[in-house]
Structure 1
Amino acid sequence: MQKVDMKRFIYFFVFFLLLTLSLFFVMNTLDSRTIQQSLVANAKNQVGYAESVVDDMLYEASMYGIQYTADSSVRFYRQQIRELDSYNAQMKKNALVERMDNSLLSNQSIESLAVYWKQEHAIIATRQDPFAYEIYGSVEQRGWKMVNGNLYYFSLYPYIREPRTPDEIQYVVGVKLKMDYLRNVLQKSFNEGGSEAFFLVGNGPTISNGPLVEGIANQARDTITPDPEEIVKFDYTSGGEDYFVLSRYIEPIDTYLVTYTRTSDLLEPLNRNRQMFVGSIMVVLLIGLTVIGIFYRNFYRNVQLLRSRFHQVERGDYGVRIGSIPGAASTEFGTLFGGFDHMVARTESLLDSLKTETDLRRSAEMKQLQAQINPHFLYNSLFFIMSMAHSSPQAVIRMSKHLAEYYRYLTRLGSESITLETELELADHYLGIMALCKTMEYEIRLPDLLKKQPIMPLIIQPIVENAILHGIEERQGAHRVSIVVEPTDTGAVITVANDGRGLTADELSQLKADIASAEPPPGTHGVGLWNIEKRLKNAYGSAGDLDFAINEWGGLSVAVRIEFAAQEGGSYGVIDRG
């Protein structure tokens, strides 16, 4: 029997050794992949930083061009100097050059500014360039252009529209970038992190701050595609070294920002660790077998006990405790069991506190929402009833009915379940009141299959009020509001649209940024929409949000996306136990 047991023990030992080595190689492979992914992620961050610096530089340069194109002193310069004598004309030219020089004093990326009048074949520049007349005389459209290895931004007058023919161009404002600044961007963004980078300008030259790996520029030119939305990655091998290459297309200047990182050196320490592990694992396993023979029984029993208790906790039994186990109190398991009991007790206490806090938050939120109802709405409604009491009893009856139903709904929010149907009834009463007070049309479309779906209260009403106050009332002749509910696979989209004052692209972007911010907007404007967005996120997670768009009427459409089957918060977006 001793020989049989020993044989089985040897089999187990060999199996365990092979399993350990296999797991190590798997882990080594995963570590190599993780390191490469980390390198790629770091390189992408570097590319993003460098791109942002270049974008800022390009934007600043274009702003200089547009500024001087629209500047009245430049626009009337030629006309003014024709009316001046030689001395005063020269002084006016010097003043313009000095002004252009002063505007570049604090700028590190722009080398020179120049204005070229095509008809007079005259030029004013902050720096002399022997090729200036040739360069500026050939300009026929605004934008970025690579000329003689330098990047220029050309702005044309007239600047409101693109000149249809070269003869319509009165003058050209040119901004010349410092190529050394681009090289400094590469140095600061990549070289300090162990990567190399260069700019690949269309079919033109490469811009780098040092020698490149042989053939990598040609490989990049043949591989990458002009996609400004994505960072393109490919692998490259040269001279027995492996590289990964990332490229980003910078559309305004038709240039690729390319960075490459050598992976061979970074993975070498991992390979050495693998060799050291193979030698040391044998010693570790021999010691481990001795130790496992002594502690196997107690260790296995205690681990199984701890495992079973964890399963009970996973099933929601937070009253489970391990307590004192004979023989374990003086070992690490005694401390572990005590820590487990303390953790479960604390978890149970925290969940009870969380439920209480959630109930309080729900009550406070509801009270806050009810308190936000504008008292002027009630005053205006009552004044309407007073003014129409003698002339139109039917209008008074309709107003009273809408007003009564509107406030009856608000007073029962805390006691009755809220559905899409009841929430839209509130909107219907509100719009009915507004339609009596002013010339307005509205429609509400709700599919029958969605009428009984539960929804958080006062999600739609603030958006409807916002459509009236900031849309209809801010545009002359606006009079239409629509509420359309459309089902999705597991939820619904509620769209509130009006034909009132729309938003510009910048205002729309700013609104979205304010809504997505972690802090409410300053003042009172936008706080209601911000509050709705946060309630949707708390209730439905990523499945619930607000979306904004300009509709076919020219006004604003607000789309509310909700998820009926959301796991984050159930029907009302709170965390409950029991």
Structure 2
Amino acid sequence: MVKWEQPCQAGSEPFMPFRMRIFNKIVILVFVLLIPVMILYGYSNHTSVQVIQNEIEDSNMRQLNFFLSQVENSAKQLALHSVTLINESGIREMPQLDQNGSFVSVLKAKKLIEEKLSLYSTSSAWQNNISVFSPVSNTSLSTYPVIDYKMPQLQENMITRWTFQKKDSSAKDDRFSWYTVDPPSARSDLAAANLIVETSYSTENLKNMLDELMSTRKGNPFFYKEGYEPIVNRKGNPEHVAELIRYFASHSPGGAGGHMQVAIAGKPYLVSSVLSKELGWTLVDFVPLDEVLSPMYKSGYLFYTVISILFILGTAISFVIYRNVQMPIRELINNVQKLKRGDYSARLSKLPKNEFHFLFTRFNEMAAEIQDLIEKVYAEKLRSREATLKQLQSQINPHFFYNCLFFIVSMSRLGENKAVEAMATNLGDYYRYTTRVENQASTLREELGLVRNYLTIQQLRQQIHYTIAIPEEMLDLPIPRLLLQPLVENAIIHGLEPLDEDGMIAIEGEPSGNGFRITVEDSGVGLAEGRLQELRGKICEPLTEEMGCGLWNVHQRVVHMFGEGSGLELRHSALGGMKAVISVPLNSP
């Protein structure tokens, strides 16, 4: 098989430069399809959660307001009892009760007042107590289950408002109390009051209502006021309430009503609060958002599960397309690139069992036909080049030959027999080697013998110095005939002859990491960089009538004999002139 080389090509075109492959487009398309869906769903889910959370907040607020209105209505009803009682005729006679009657009549009057207090107390659904105190007569009557009830110490800010009181000897539960004074002007001086009516209800009433509220909804309601123990329900989690109260130490709940999200026990809760103007306490309720929004979370988990499955399926489809489409296309392109680089032995070995089978088969047939044609053309070119080389070898330079003959005639006239003998011997050896056209192969040892003959002839005619340093292991390397002589001749004619002084030619050989190199350099006039670049380009171009054939012939024969990586390279020499380097790789034929 023949591998057609393009030795002077600066560089092959990279594989599909700056072009997006089909597989990349498919993968990007999968992401382009999935990412907007995820973004839209994420936005929709966020909006839905926000709407549901707003609805939960509104619903919580409505329920809390309704519940608080029930509490306040019951409290107002009890407060109204105290106002009504203070205006009762029998109760208004309490300041003069001990002055206007006998002991029996006084007991009967007190009994009637106590019955009236009990009647008012039982008229409310709440557990409550009503007491009447007269500072004038220092008389107290109460529904409290105590023998001798004592009115607590009062202050002006406790009149006509609900105040919280801790349990004591007269009441076994914490309570809210309302005080009404007659006359109203005596609220600043309670000792001058005729009557003081106390209406109180136990916080157990609030706890019962909180329990009832909690049984109808998901939450944990309680009453809160800074500096007091909260009034909590009996069914909720007291630890969660305690943690929320600790949070309120730095974040007070909303006054007129508000919402906040608080992490309790590591979970998010929606906290709603409403301030009771009647009681002065805040009704607080907190609902676990995870339980309320769990349907939305389940829907989100389902969506992302589906998206993950679609992504996996998309990746699997992309892989199938990559294996069945992209890989055959890439293999086809790689082999087309090989054909472009001149490797016409490229074949597609793995034939896929799909539509690419037809393309691969036709490509192999086309490559085989092209290789056959190229081999025929290449063989014709080789025969043509051999014929050209033989013609070049047979065309002896007449000026060189005439100059040598004139040198022999001149030296014989002068009686320089040794010079004549040396010139005749070297000239004979030189032409004996150059005129052997039956075999185009030689060795480096034989080629160096020709070069020595040629340099000896030139030394007889002009002052030339030369050195040859070739390692012994390189002397038997096979090379084309007349490979070094054209380089030496070029160095003498174009480099040394224009000099006014002695010239120097150095021939060296050295093994390299991937083959070996032979260099021929001179101390001549050399070439400018632009002219050297032009000469480098010409030896890689097809031969024309205007172009000298010496360097071009050397370069082309080296490339076609030793293959890719071999050839002639022209450089500037450290001696002052030019340096010609022949490189041959180790894997050359």
Q: Is the pair's TM-score, using the shorter chain for normalization, greater than 0.5?
A: no
Per the normalisation by structure 2, the TM-score is 0.44
Structure showing greater radius of gyration is 2
Q: Which of structures 1 and 2 has the larger relative contact order (alpha carbons within 8 angstroms, sep 6+)? A: 2
**TM superposition score normalised by structure 1:** 0.44
